[in-house]
Chains A and B, each alone.
Chain A
Amino acid sequence: DAKTTQPNSMESNEEEPVHLPCNHSTISGTDYIHWYRQLPSQGPEYVIHGLTSNVNNRMASLAIAEDRKSSTLILHRATLRDAAVYYCILRDDTGNQFYFGTGTSLTVIP
């Protein structure tokens, strides 16, 4: 199983950018990188995903290293509502693997 490694926790000041790292050194060439977040007392919520190129959507940006062994989720301006656990997940070619790592708990300081 392709695994991911993330820091247990991070802090950010409100209105500042946040860079959440993820290492996935055993990624295979066709694995997609997905990011989800889970707000307190809610189910996980899709944030963004990508394969090789950097991706942007209304919620965040995803920067993928050239060798694909790491990626970074970028929240451009953290708000208090962004406080959550952020999970970096790899999905393989069959689509069958969907294993959450331990995730990063993001605290946003007002």
Chain B
Amino acid sequence: DTEVTQTPKHLVMGMTNKKSLKCEQHMGHRAMYWYKQKAKKPPELMFVYSYEKLSINESVPSRFSPECPNSSLLNLHLHALQPEDSALYLCASSQDLARLYEQYFGPGTRLTVT
């Protein structure tokens, strides 16, 4: 199984809502990533977890809060988002952070903030 699953596929939320995005992989990978992708732009790295510990936070606003409850799951908690946060949120995993390992991406969650 080389699949990364993301739920929900689509999410519409108001600026005062709290919601969460979920990502799951069962490949035994120990590195997991969140990316944000705006339309017609490349993905931008947000967070990296390595062995369930936050390894990289790319200066992401605190209204985005990542969580890695176990080695298979990665969550992104959303609170008080702005309309400019509307984007495709991609999750990825790799065997670990070593440079020779490829990343496996999920299909993404399309987020719209109203």
Nearest CB in chain B to that of A99: its residue: B45
Q: Which of B31, B55, B96, B106 contacts A43 (CB 8 A)?
A: B106
Check B104 against A46 for contact (C-beta < 8 Å): yes
Chain B interface, number of residues (Cβ within 8 angstroms): 25
Q: Mark A25-67, 1 if CB is under 8 A from B, else 0.
A: 0000011101010000011111001010000000000000000
Q: Which of B100, B103, B107, B108 contacts A98 (CB 8 A)?
A: B103
Chain A interface, number of residues (Cβ within 8 angstroms): 26
Complex A-B: 26 CB contacts under 8 Å? A43-B107, A43-B108, A44-B43, A44-B90, A44-B92, A44-B103, A44-B105, A45-B105, A49-B100, A49-B102, A91-B100, A93-B99, A94-B97, A95-B31, A95-B96, A95-B97, A95-B99, A95-B101, A96-B48, A96-B56, A98-B45, A98-B48, A99-B45, A100-B43, A101-B42, A103-B42
